[in-house]
Amino acid sequence: MQRGQISIDLTLTILVAMLFLQGMAILMTDIAESQQNISIRSQGRAILNEVARLYTLNEELSDLEIGYTVPKIRGIGERRPFDCEINYADPQLTLDIDLDGDGAYGVTPEELAVAVTRDTTPLSGAFPINCGATVTIG
C-alpha cells in the first residue's frame, strides 16, 4: 500500500512541476513580446519626433538644406531590421512598420503618429519616406 501511495505522490508532484514550468514559459513569452512591442514603438516615436523636428526647423531656417538618414527599426534579437515608411497626412506624420516581412504593415498609424506644427504651409516632399533612406529637407 505504501508503494502505491509513493507512486501517486510522485506522479502528482511531476504533474504540478510540469504545470508550473509551462506557466512560467508562457509568462516569459508574454514578457518578451511586450518588450519587443515597447522597443519597436519607442524607436518609431523617436524617428517621427526627429523628422517632425527637422521639418519644423526647416521652416524657421528656410535657406537651410538638411540631409537626414532615417534610421531603421530593429527588434530585440532580430537579425534584420523591419521595413517601415513615414507617411504624411496634414497635420501629422505616421510611421507604418512591416513586422513580419509580408508587406502588410502591422502597427496602425494611430499608434505611431506625431503632429507637425507649422505656421504656414503643409509639408511637401517625397512621401512616403522609407526607413534607411536619406532624405533632403529644405
Number of domains in the chain: 1
Q: What is the pLDDT of residues 24-54, one digit of tens each?
A: 999 988 888 888 878 888 888 888 888 888 8
The helix or strand, by DSSP H or E, that contains position 125, with its residue range, turns out to be: none
Q: What is the pLDDT of residue 20?
A: 93
User: What's the pLDDT at 125?
Assistant: 64
In tens, the pLDDT along 78-127 reads: 778 888 888 877 777 788 887 766 655 555 544 565 556 555 455 556 77
Angle at 35 between CA 30 and CA 36, to 5 degrees: 100
Domain boundaries, position 27: 2-137
* Residue 134 DSSP SS3: strand
Query: Under a CB-based contact definition with an 8 Å cutoff, are residues 56 and 123 in contact?
Result: no
Share of the chain above pLDDT 90, in %: 10
pLDDT number for residue 16: 92
